[in-house]
A and B are shown apart, each in its own frame.
Chain A
Amino acid sequence: MAVNVKSTPVRTSATHRSRRSRSRSAERIRSFTLFGAPGLLVYACFVLAPIAISFGYSLTDHNPFNPPTEFVGLRNYRMLFTDEEFLTSLRVTTILTVIVVVVPNVAGLGIAVLLDRRGWFYNAMRTVFFTPMVLSSVVVSIVWTRMLDDEGLVNQALRAIGVDRPPGWLSDPGLALYSIASILSWQMLGFCVVVYLAGLQGVPRELTEAAEIDGAGPIRRFRSVTWPLLAPALTINTVVLLISAFKIFDHIQVITHGGPGTGTTATIAYNVLQTGLVANRQGYASAMAIVMLLIIAVAAAVTLRVLNRREVNL
């Protein structure tokens, strides 16, 4: 802009306006190429383009081991709606996502309120809670498998206190999904704690004190003073949890392989990979991936809208 200012001498008022708007749009293009374009370009190459390629495949019966590939229109999409396995994976993903978004958020807030004090002790606690977040999913999965299988630590402990036949955390088809959801919640909980703590420590003392003087009890104070100020923390937690929930793949691969039995813990992501890579039906797998993307886009849009409104209302 420094250059612009120099090279634009003062004009008569008649031409001044159009000149200025032209230089403004030039400026807009310049700032887009400089600031917006590089990031968007890399994103387009490595996310949007692959999605477009996937979409192309989803209209075919592509199977790399069974050429030729033929165009089949929307057949793959129609098949999805009657594919029991796909519908199951939709259910599994939904349950996992809901649990993984809600449980760490709620529990994290509770623990954050508990830890909302200063001093080395509480700082150390905060680090403890955050640690699982930096562990790789492979590590988490291995440790938890060792803890939850029938000879694992949890059942050893239950037997020690006299439970005769403790539950099969990962082998009972009705329970395995919830065990995995708990493992994920464990991993994500610390992150929520840390973020809520930051939010809590940003709440000005004067506000809560003023409310106290007005005679508001602790619950009332929390609801009408603290909670609204935690809106940004809620946004960040929810978005990060959503991201993690939709991506769940490694845990399934390492802990249950989609089982026990048929598809009891198979998420959409897991199903896409099994269908594409193991059964070689890549056209069909691409259709699953595209449907998954649509669901994700809707989830992202709704979440942002709801959360933004909350923040704006402050």
Chain B
Amino acid sequence: MKEVRVPWLRPVAALMISAFFLVPLYMILVNVFKQGEKITQEPAALPVPPTLDNLTGLLTRSDNLFWASLANSVVVTTLSVIVLTVLSAMLGHYLARSRSRWARVAMLLLLSGLMIPPQVILMPITQVLRAFGLMTTLQGLVLFNVGYYIPFGVFVFTGFLRGIPIELEEAAAIDGASRSRVFWRVVFPLLRPATASVLIFLGVWIWNDFIDPLVILGPSQGTTITTGIYRSIGQYQADFGTVFALMFMATLPVLIFYLFLQKQFVKGLTGGATKG
């Protein structure tokens, strides 16, 4: 085989492509630790000497923007993905195991909803939220997230469920277990990899969403971190050091989250099917 002849070719090619790919990430990273004035002049140079001013300036803002919005983001994202995982696993299971036509229609309806840019229906959404008295509340934002992102959870779970033999459930049902019991005791544990992908994906999307929290939480309720960043760009547009620090800090939590779950995540997406 070719590889045996040139064993170094593959890693070198991989390195070269990824180096090219990494340039923008490198830009963020070096500029976080560079003095503001130097960033425009030499954007790609290494930060010598490195400075922590950009980060400390951000973390010690007098209005506590960073920490307050970090807390909000954590609450919103965590609550949303937990509810989403439960509801979409159940709905996904229901649709995957149903043979009726309506299940397919529901699936299609759900999927097209997933591709709608939320901005396009944001104003009617606020009307619905107001009708329920949920406007400007964290609960309202969480519920909206659940409604808007549930199709994706359903999509991943049904895909994964197709690779799990139905006989397992039937056997449990014959033993006299109720459907809920079968689901939570037998099926849900098997869905772990799919759950990881749903958590990661929706976690990232909800974390990075800025337009919905902006409008649904409203201006007086504090903000999420991504919205907070978007908001402070105005102030820091001439101070790139802080902008880069903001971007870095907003990304760090999701990146760590991904690294935690990445092994499971990958299995969940391509799921049972590839195994077979």
Contact = CB atoms under 8 A, between A and B. Distances in A.
B124 A50 contact: yes
A45 interface: yes
B58 interface: no
A269 B23 CA distance: 30
A137 B208 contact: yes
Interface in A267-292: 269, 272-273, 276, 282, 289, 292
Given A130-B262, A300-B108, 16 more contacts: A43-B147, A53-B124, A54-B121, A127-B262, A129-B18, A134-B204, A134-B255, A139-B251, A142-B247, A195-B270, A232-B273, A247-B118, A250-B210, A269-B120, A289-B120, A300-B112
Contacts of A299: 115
Interface string A198-235: 11001100000000000000100000000001011101
B193 to A, nearest CB: 10
Contact of A236 (B116, B123, B258, B269): B269
28 contacts: A27-B179, A30-B179, A34-B179, A39-B91, A40-B106, A43-B147, A47-B148, A49-B128, A50-B121, A51-B121, A54-B120, A125-B14, A128-B22, A130-B258, A135-B208, A138-B226, A142-B233, A142-B243, A152-B43, A153-B43, A195-B266, A233-B270, A239-B155, A243-B114, A250-B210, A272-B119, A300-B108, A300-B111
A226 to B, nearest CB: 11
Contacts of A301: 108, 112
A296 B21 contact: no
Interface string B256-276: 001100100011011101110
Given A242-B115, A289-B120, A45 B18 contact: no
Contacts of A135: 208, 247, 251
B125 interface: yes
Given A42-B143, A199-B270, A304-B108, A50 B91 contact: no
Contacts of B13: 114
Contacts of A125: 14, 18
A255 interface: no
A229 B275 CA distance: 10
A300 B109 CA distance: 9
**Interface of B, helix, strand, loop or mixed by DSSP:** helix
Contact of A273 (B43, B119, B207, B250): B119
B165 to A, nearest CB: 16
Interface residues of A, number: 97
Given A36-B91, A121-B11, A147-B23, A43 B150 contact: yes
Given A34-B179, A129-B18, A195-B269, A296 B143 contact: no
Contacts of A189: 21
Interface string B83-116: 0000110110111001000000011111111111
A232 B274 contact: yes
A133 interface: yes
A143 B26 CA distance: 10
B24 to A, nearest CB: 5
A128 to B, nearest CB: 5
Given A40-B106, A45-B128, A233-B274, A246 B151 contact: no
B143 A114 contact: no
A197 B14 contact: no
Interface residues of B, number: 93
Nearest to A36: B94
B255 to A, nearest CB: 6
Interface string B211-249: 100000000000000100110010000001001000100
B121 A35 contact: no
Nearest to B100: A28
A134 B273 CA distance: 26
B154 interface: yes
B176 interface: yes
Contacts of B110: 43
B146 interface: yes
Contacts of B148: 46-47
Contacts of A48: 109, 113
Nearest to A272: B120
B254 interface: yes
B24 A1 contact: no
A246 B144 contact: no
